[in-house]
Amino acid sequence: MTAIAGIARGGEVNLVNQMLDEMAYRGGAGREVIETSRATLGILWSRADRKKRIRQSESILVEDSTGVGRLARACLQDTNLLLERDSLGKAPLYYGMDDQGTISFSSEVKGLLVSTEDVHEMPPGVVWRDGEIQTAHVLELMNPLDEKPVSIARELRRRLEESIAACLHCGEIGSWLSGGLDSSAIAALARPHFNQFHTFAVGLAGAPDLHYAGIAADYLGTIHHELLVDTDDLLKVLPEMIHHLESFDALLVRSSMTNYLVGKLAADYVPAVFSGEGGDELFAGYEYLHDMEITDLPAELVDITKRLHSTALQRVDRCSMAHGMAAFTPFLAPAVVNYALQIPPQYKIYKGVEKWILRKAVEDLLPPEITFRKKAKFWEGAGVTDLLAEAAEKEVTTSDFAKKRYLPNGWILNSKEELLYYRIFSEWFGDAGDLHWMGRTKGAPMN
């Protein structure tokens, strides 16, 4: 299933249906709501799901489990309500208490707001059991492997292949393809499983991603779909995208613009796509990591991977589910993550080359200009660069920015661009409480 919602009170079928209505785009293939004297629980499922009903035996269970390692679950057993979220937060889950002191939960904030304005993000890797949060599993530093690079690259590739194979049950799957190493590697590993394989890219005219995605698609022999957009297209879709994204964080919004549009494009052809998300965090793909001491790199990679739940993984989830489509993230399958965190840091940045061990694992599958392409920021590769900031400069005056950049919860908006996004966000969500449930990109000042 692709969305769940509920309240720990019977007789609330109408309320839970209203919560599901707010997220109806996540489904499209069906819904079910069931009530007991203790709770009312509901689910939506999409085209990528096998049609499943709410599970009933000794307990009643609803869950979002589309994809390997993805889980948001609500289980009612006797009088006990249990909520659970996977260790990376691939599946979204929010909860809060209503004015009667009863807990509600939902896959998205907009669904939860039907029942309560007390919004909390369920932390990844925890179990909530009748008011008590227990940590089930969290990422942590691991001892490095004592193996040669060739053996590590071989095992990494094997685990990625298994991660992709585990997603094939849903039938036809395409792939988002930016032409960067991560998305190209996943597309190359997935390609042999399909007679016809669709890939999707979007960007402004002359965008580097479109050029390199075309090279990768030609090499892999995919049915490639390309969407050209301009600044007006981005601004036109901005309000609906922020409504789905549920964030005004400037870097997250900027990186979501083309992701949202490529999601819309892909949904016309396939019920699910592969995404290369997670490769940069696990294999040191970001430029700032080159300046770190190599001994500090493992801890930093664990930290930024743990932050994905409310930033990049939120983008992937919302930009696919907004169009009723599932997105699978093979890099973030548990077996891949656990292994990647054991790979010695000197094989991740080797002689100034980031993600070196990943490049070695797939170098025979891709042309050299893709295998050794340098990392580009998501919005730069798509050609967005400073277009949104320039648009905000026209919309937001300097005096308005000076007055309104300080939010009631103590956060500081970093730019006119972010104030533009916040204005749109507020139209949809008001202040939505103190906003502590919303993620901010690492390094963005909050007070």
With H, G, I as helix, E, B as strand and everything else as coil, classify residue 54.
coil
Distance (Å, rounded) from C-alpha 196 to C-alpha 217?
12
- The pTM of this model reads 0.94
Q: Which amino acid is at 166?
A: A
Q: Which pair of tokens denotes residue 442? A: 């690492």
Could you give the count of Cα atoms lying within 13 Å of 324 in the half-sphere of its Cβ? 16
Binned average pLDDT, 10 residues per bin, the chain of 447 residues: 90 97 91 90 83 59 78 85 94 95 96 95 92 84 96 98 92 94 98 97 91 97 96 93 96 93 97 97 96 96 96 97 96 97 98 96 97 69 71 92 91 93 94 82 62
Residue 383, pLDDT score: 58
Residues 52/68, Cβ–Cβ less than 8 Å: no
Task: Characterise 396 by phi-psi region: left (phi > 0), alpha (psi -120 to 50), beta (else).
Answer: beta
Q: Which pair of tokens denotes residue 101? A: 């002191």
Distance (Å, rounded) from C-alpha 275 to C-alpha 67?
11
Please, where are the H alpha helices in 180-296?
181-190, 208-220, 231-245, 250-267, 279-283
Distances (CA, A) of 351 to 8, 246, 354, 370: 56, 40, 9, 19
If residue 202 lies in a helix (H) or strand (E), which one and from where to where? strand 198-204
Q: Which residues pair with 412 in a beta bridge?
A: 406
Q: Which pair of tokens denotes residue 42? A: 């509901």
Residues 6+ apart with CB under 8 A from 99: 116
Distances (CA, A) of 39 to 21, 36, 78: 19, 5, 11
Q: Which residues pair with 272 in a beta bridge?
A: 326
Q: Which amino acid is at 182?
A: D
Distance (Å, rounded) from C-alpha 102 to C-alpha 16?
14
CATH architecture of 149-388: 3-Layer(aba) Sandwich (3.40)
- Segments of the chain assigned to CATH 3.60.20.10: 3-135
Give per-residue burial for 395-425: e unless 16+ CB within 10 Å, then b: ebeeeebeeebebeeebebbebbbbbbbbbb
Per-position DSSP letters for 66-133, written without gaps between them = -STT--EEEEEETTEEEEEE-TT--S--EEEE-TTS-EEEESSHHHHTTT-S--EEPPTTEEEETTEE
DSSP state of 180: S
The class that CATH gives domain 3-135 is alpha beta
- Segments of the chain assigned to CATH 3.40.50.620: 149-388
Distances (CA, A) of 316 to 92, 289, 342: 11, 23, 25
DSSP state of 69: T
Q: Which pair of tokens denotes residue 173? A: 């799957």
